[in-house]
Structure 1
Amino acid sequence: MALCLLSKGMYPHLHGLKLSALLAICQAIDQALNLESALDGVLCILSEKLSMQRATVTLHDPETGQLSINASYGLTHEEKQRGVYRLDEGVTGRIFRTKEPYYVPDITKEPLFLDKTGSRKIRRGLISFLGVPILLHGESIGVLNVDRLFEDEVAFEEDIDFLKIVATLIGQFISLNEKIMEREAVLKRENTSLKYQIAKNNKGPYIVGQSSAMVEVQRQIEKVSPTRATVLLLGESGVGKTLIARIIHELSDRKGHPFIKINCASIPENLLESELFGYEKGAFTGATGSRSGRFEEADCGTIFLDEIGEFPMILQAKLLRVLQEKELERLGSNRTRTIDVRILAATNRDLGELVERNEFRLDLYYRLNIFPILVPPLRERKEDITGLLNHFLQKMSEDYGRQMFFTPAALDALIKYDWPGNVREMQNLIERLVIMSDSEYITLEFLKSYLAPGQSPVQNGISHDAQKNSDEPPHCTSLKEVERNEVVAALERSGWIQYKAADTLGLSARQMGYRVKRYGLESMIAEGRARLRRMKDGE
C-alpha cells in the first residue's frame, strides 16, 4: 500500500516540478524493499529532478549518541564516513536539537557550517544549504540536508516547505521499517526455537540438561544464532563448547555452508598462519603451489576457533583485521581477499587476565567478546547428571548393542562425583564402562577404578555399609526408576523431610525439590508425614 496519495489540489503552493518529484518520491518509498534503498531513491530524485545536490539523511544512533550520515547522494564513500556529528555540533546538530529548519545563504560565510564531509572544498560559485529535521511523534530522529547550487525565482521558504514534506515521508517510512524489523526479529527467534526443537527430535545437535543454568545457555543460543554476531564461549574444558558452536551454526542462516573447526592450541605457531590464511607458491620452503586457508574454506559459513587464548600474539593483528574488515592476504601475497565468515571462539582461560599480562590484544578481546556465553561446569549443575548419564547410556547401547544399567550405589557415586573433565569425561567414562563390563549392571565396586584419582566415591561421602546395601542389581529396568527409588528411600529414612533426605544423597535442597517434582512425590511425602504423625499420636 502506498505511503501517501497525491492529487493536483493537495499542495497548491508547490509548482509542477516539485509535485512531480514528490510523486516520484512516494513511488520510490512504496516500492523499496529496505530502508537504505528507499533513502537512496529519495535523495537521487532530489538531485536529478530538483538540482538539490549532495543530499544527505543523517540519523541519530542511540548506541553512540551521535548523528551520522545514513544515506547520501553525490558523496563518495570516504566523504560519507566523515559525516559524523555530536548533537551540539554544526548546522546539523542545531537542526536536530531545535527541531527547526535552517537556511545558509552562503556556506562560506556561515561559522556553523563545518563541511565535515569535505565534499565542497573544490566547488566554485555560490552554494546555499538547507536542512530540515526528520521528526517522529514530535521528536527528532534525524536531519535531511541538501545544497542549492543556484539562485532562482523560487524562495528558499518554498524549498523548506517541500523538504519538510519529504522529511515527514522519510520519518514515516523509518518508523514502519523499525516495526517490520522488530516483527522480523520476533519471527527469527520463533523460527530458531522451532529449528532447535526439530533438531532435538531428529537427533541433531542439542543440549542435554534442564538445570536453570543450561536453560539460560539455551535461551542465549536461540537469541544469538540468527544474528551475525561473533560469539565467545567460555567455560572449563569438556563442558560442551564445541557442541554449542555447532548448534549456533545449525540454527543460523549459514546452515548448509561450511562449519570449520580449528584448535588453536594443537597447530604449531609457525604453521598456524598458513593454515588459517593460506599461502602462495614460493611463500616459504616447500610451498610448491598455492593453497587457500581455512578462513577462505569457511566463506559464507562459520569458523570455530577453539582455545583462542592460545592464539599467538604475532598473528592477533591479522585475526583482528578479518574480524573487523572481513579481509585477508595469503602468506606471500599482496592481493586482498574479501570473505564472508562468521567467527565463533572458545576458551577455558581468562582472556582479561591474559590482556593484563600483555599476552592478548585488548582490541581483539573486545571484538571477540561481543556476545559471551558462559557454560557452567557439571559440578555446578548436578541436576543434569542423571539425564546426561541416561543420554550416554542410550547412545552407547545403540553403538554397542548392549543394554546397561547402574546400581543405586553406583548412581549415587556418579551424582556426587565432581566430574573434573565435565561432559567429555562422562561420555568417555560411559563408553569404557560399556566396553569393559561383563554384566548388564554397573556396580560401584566396578566403577571405582575408572574414576579420576582423588575422586573415590567413598571419599565423596558414601559409606561402606551404604555400598554393601545398595550395590546389588536392582529389579527396575531404567536409570530413571533407579533414581526415583533412591529418592523415595532417602525420604523414608529421613522422616519424609526433604532437606534431610537431600543431605543423605549429597544434593542441595533445590536439586532435591526438582526430583520430588519430577517424580510426582508430593502426595507420597504428605502421606508419609501424616502416617508418622498418627504413629506419634498413638504413642
Structure 2
Amino acid sequence: MQPSAYRDALLDSTTAGLIVFDLEGDICFANNLARSFLQHPTDQSLISSFPEIWNFTRDATVYETETLLPPMQREGRDYSATVKVVKQQDEIVGYVCALYAHSRLERLARDTKAFQDLAREESAIINFSSDGLWICDASAKVVRINPASERLNNVSAKEVIGKHMAELVAAGMLDKSVTLEVLKNKKSVSLLQKSGERSLLLTGTPVFDLQGQLIRVVVSERDVTEIDDLQRALEEEEALKNKYMEQVRSLQQAEYGGRAIIAKTPAFINLINQALKVSSVDSTVLISGESGVGKGLIADLIHENSKRKAKPMIRINCGAIPETLIESELFGYEKGAFTGAQSSKAGQFELANNGILFLDEVAELPLSAQVKLLRFLEDGCITRLGSTQRKKVDVRVLAATHRDLDAMVKAGSFRLDLYYRLKVIPLHIPALKERKDCILPLLRHHLDFFGKKVGAQKRLSVEASDILLNYEYPGNVRELINLCERLVVMTDSETISSADLPQEIMNSVEGSGWKATRWVKEKTLAETLNKVEEQVYREALKQYRNQYKVAAALGVSQATVARRVQKYGILQTSAIEDQ
C-alpha cells in the first residue's frame, strides 16, 4: 500500500485530512492536513496519535459505506471525521479516515441553526400552552401574548402588543395588572383577576440580564373559574355542615326533663341530622328502636325545632290505655255515646290541634283504632264516638314503637296500609350498646345531673368506667339514667369504684367473657399486657371460630393469630377451626 509521489501530491491538495491505517492501527499514509491533526505527527501508530478514531474503528462493525464519527475536539479545534473500509479481493485490509476541521463560519452557522431550532421550540411551547402567557418589556409594554391569553381575555394580539399595561387597564380591557406590581416590587407577584365571567390566577415573574437589570416580565394566566366554583360549593357545604354540627353541639347541652342528647357516634349524629331536617316539615314520622333508647327524646327534638313548637305536643302511650277506652281517648265522644257519658269530651286529636300528637307504642293500637287513625292520616278529619259529623283538625302525627311492625303486618295484627302511612319518614334509633362513644359522656352528664340534686359530686374510677363501657345495657339509656341516680345516692365516697357497681352488671360483664384488667403489684407491665391480649384473642376466637376471620377483624395476619393461639394455649380449651 505504498503510495506513489504523484498520488501523495494529489492527496495533499485535498481539503480533507486523510489517514490510511491497517488492521493493527499502524498509519500507512497521512497527508499534510492530516498530520496537522495528529497528536504526534511523527508517530506511525494511530493508537497513540489519534486514539479517538482508533477506539471507534476498533469497537465498530465493518463499514461498507462511509460512516460519520461523533463530533470531536482537539486543542480547541472542532472537527468531524468519516471512516471507510479498504478492501482487496473482498478482504478488509485497512481503513481510510477523512478529517474535516470546522471553520468559524461553520460554527456560527451551526450555532445559528441551533438558536433557530431553540427559538422555534420555545415559540411552539408558548403558543400551544394551555396557560395564558404575557411578555412585557421593562417599561410595561406588551411584547407578546400567546393564543391561550387571547382566548382567556377575549382580546387579539394586535390589540394589545405595543400597548402599555396601564393603558389597557384604563381602557377596561383588564381590571388590574400584575406586570405593574412586578415592576414596582422587582419580585414575583400573584393575584386574582376577573375577566368577564372567568376568574384568572396571574403570576408575574421578573427576568434580569447579567448586569441585574430587569428586562422582561413574564406573566402566566390560569383559568381557576371551575376551581373557584368548587371552592364556593365546598364553603357552602362546610357552612351547612357547621350549622348542623352547631345544632348537634347545642343539643348535647340541651336537656329534656334531665335527659341529654349526646351524639358522638356517626350513626347517631346522622340520626340527629335527619331529625333536624324533618322538623321543618309536617310529614308523619315513625321512630323505631328498643325500649329505653330515647324515642320520646327524638320526638321532643322534632317538636322543639318545628314551626309548631309554640303549640302543644300531646303524648299518648297507646299501650297504657285500655283497649275499650283508646278510641274515645284519641277521638273524643259525644254525650250519651256510651253508658256513663254524661257530657261531650274532646279527644287528644282535638287537643293537639295546630300542634303535634305523639303516639308512643303505636303497635299496641287495636285494629278498630287503627282504621280511624288511617282515615285521619288520609283526610285530616276525625269523628267523635256517638257522632256522625266529621271534624277537620290540623295535627302532625309522630309515632314510635319498639316492636317489629313488619312481623306484625305479616301476622295480621297491624294494618299494612297504616304501616306505610306512618313510615313516611322512618327514623331508627340505635341501641346504646351500638353507640359506645356515647356511653361515657352520658354517664358523666347524668352523674353530674343527679350529683347537683343531692349536693354531692361523683366521678367514676378508671376500672368502673371500663366495666360500664363494656356493659350491654339491655334497658338502654333509661337503664343508664337509673343506674347513675342509684350510684350517686348509694355511693359514700366521691369516687365510684367497681365495688360500688351492682352485682348484676358485674355478673353480666364477666359472663360475656370480658374482665377488667388492672395492674397487680406483683405483675410487670408485659405480664399485664399479655393478659389483656389473651382475653382479646379468646373473645375473638369464640365469636368467629376461624383464624382467618379473627385476623381480618383484629387487623393482623393469620400467622400472628396462630402464634397467639399456641402461646396462650387457646386450642386446649376451645375447639377452633384453622380454616
TM-score of the aligned structures, taking structure 1 as reference length: 0.51
Tell me if 1:248 matches 2:302: yes
Match of 1:383 in 2: 437
- Output the CA distance in 1 between the equivalents of 2:504 and 2:317: 28
Match of 1:421 in 2: 475
Tell me if 1:448 matches 2:505: no
- Output the CA distance in 2 between the equivalents of 1:397 and 1:512: 39
When residues 505 and 423 of structure 1 are mapped into structure 2, their CA distance, relative to the original with a 3 A threshold, is farther
> Which of the numbers 308, 312, 331 marks the counterpart of 1:258?
312
Match of 1:402 in 2: 456
Match of 2:278 in 1: 224
- Output the CA distance in 2 between the equivalents of 1:422 and 1:253: 30
Match of 1:215 in 2: 269
Match of 2:363 in 1: 309
- Structure 2: 5+ residue stretches without partners: 1-237, 541-549, 556-579
How far did 1:201 drift? 4.3
Tell me if 1:459 matches 2:539: no
Tell me if 1:280 matches 2:356: no
Match of 1:323 in 2: 377
When residues 457 and 267 of structure 1 are mapped into structure 2, their CA distance, relative to the original with a 3 A threshold, is same
How far did 1:325 drift? 0.8
Amino acid at match of 1:446: D
Higher relative contact order (CA 8 A, sep 6+): 1
How far did 1:459 drift? 2.3
Percent of residue pairs identical: 43
Asked if 2 retains the 8 angstrom alpha-carbon contact of 1:196 and 1:206, the reply is no
- Output the CA distance in 1 between the equivalents of 2:479 and 2:263: 16
Q: Deviations over 1:87-111 (max 9, x none)?
A: xxxxxxxxxxxxxxxxxxxxxxxxx
How far did 1:189 drift? 9.9
How far did 1:209 drift? 2.6
Match of 2:546 in 1: none
- Structure 1: 5+ residue stretches without partners: 1-185, 471-488, 514-539
SS of 1:356's equivalent in the other structure is helix
- Output the CA distance in 2 between the equivalents of 1:406 and 1:297: 45
- Output the CA distance in 1 between the equivalents of 2:379 and 2:525: 60
Asked if 2 retains the 8 angstrom alpha-carbon contact of 1:189 and 1:222, the reply is no
- Output the CA distance in 2 between the equivalents of 1:187 and 1:252: 21
Amino acid at match of 1:459: G
SS of 2:505's equivalent in the other structure is coil
Asked if 2 retains the 8 angstrom alpha-carbon contact of 1:383 and 1:511, the reply is no
Asked if 2 retains the 8 angstrom alpha-carbon contact of 1:493 and 1:501, the reply is no
When residues 461 and 502 of structure 1 are mapped into structure 2, their CA distance, relative to the original with a 3 A threshold, is closer
When residues 370 and 271 of structure 1 are mapped into structure 2, their CA distance, relative to the original with a 3 A threshold, is same
Amino acid at match of 1:445: A
- Output the CA distance in 1 between the equivalents of 2:390 and 2:340: 23
Q: Deviations over 1:93-141 (max 9, x none)?
A: xxxxxxxxxxxxxxxxxxxxxxxxxxxxxxxxxxxxxxxxxxxxxxxxx
Amino acid at match of 1:287: A
How far did 1:267 drift? 0.5
When residues 298 and 231 of structure 1 are mapped into structure 2, their CA distance, relative to the original with a 3 A threshold, is same
Amino acid at match of 2:337: A
Asked if 1 retains the 8 angstrom alpha-carbon contact of 2:514 and 2:535, the reply is no
Asked if 1 retains the 8 angstrom alpha-carbon contact of 2:254 and 2:261, the reply is no
Structural mapping, 1:477-492, within 5 Å = none
- Output the CA distance in 2 between the equivalents of 1:321 and 1:188: 38
- Output the CA distance in 1 between the equivalents of 2:513 and 2:430: 24
Structural mapping, 1:55-454, within 5 Å = 197-198=249-250, 200-201=252-253, 203=255, 207-449=261-503, 451=505
Match of 1:67 in 2: none
Q: Deviations over 1:394-433 (max 9, x none)?
A: 1111222111112222211111111100110000111111
Amino acid at match of 1:239: V
Asked if 1 retains the 8 angstrom alpha-carbon contact of 2:248 and 2:263, the reply is no
How far did 1:263 drift? 0.7
Match of 1:70 in 2: none
Amino acid at match of 1:458: E
How far did 1:298 drift? 0.7
Structural mapping, 1:33-48, within 5 Å = none
How far did 1:207 drift? 2.1
Match of 1:105 in 2: none
When residues 226 and 500 of structure 1 are mapped into structure 2, their CA distance, relative to the original with a 3 A threshold, is farther
SS of 2:286's equivalent in the other structure is strand
Q: Deviations over 1:357-410 (max 9, x none)?
A: 111111100100111111111111222211111111111112221111122222
Q: Deviations over 1:250-286 (max 9, x none)?
A: 1111101011111111100001111111111111111
Q: Which aligned segments of 4 or more residues in structure 1 are displaced greater than 4 angstroms?
A: 186-206, 467-470, 489-495, 499-502, 504-513
- Output the CA distance in 1 between the equivalents of 2:435 and 2:279: 24
When residues 457 and 202 of structure 1 are mapped into structure 2, their CA distance, relative to the original with a 3 A threshold, is closer
Number of residues of Structure 1 aligned to a counterpart in Structure 2: 306
Asked if 2 retains the 8 angstrom alpha-carbon contact of 1:296 and 1:339, the reply is yes
When residues 189 and 228 of structure 1 are mapped into structure 2, their CA distance, relative to the original with a 3 A threshold, is farther
Amino acid at match of 1:256: A
Match of 2:141 in 1: none
Q: Which has more radius of gyration?
A: 2
SS of 1:451's equivalent in the other structure is helix
How far did 1:356 drift? 0.8
Asked if 2 retains the 8 angstrom alpha-carbon contact of 1:412 and 1:505, the reply is no
Asked if 2 retains the 8 angstrom alpha-carbon contact of 1:502 and 1:509, the reply is no
How far did 1:467 drift? 6.1
Match of 2:17 in 1: none
When residues 461 and 406 of structure 1 are mapped into structure 2, their CA distance, relative to the original with a 3 A threshold, is farther
When residues 200 and 327 of structure 1 are mapped into structure 2, their CA distance, relative to the original with a 3 A threshold, is same
User: Pairwise CA RMSD of aligned residues?
Assistant: 3.7
When residues 298 and 510 of structure 1 are mapped into structure 2, their CA distance, relative to the original with a 3 A threshold, is farther
Amino acid at match of 1:413: I
Amino acid at match of 1:298: A
Asked if 2 retains the 8 angstrom alpha-carbon contact of 1:210 and 1:384, the reply is yes
Amino acid at match of 2:508: S
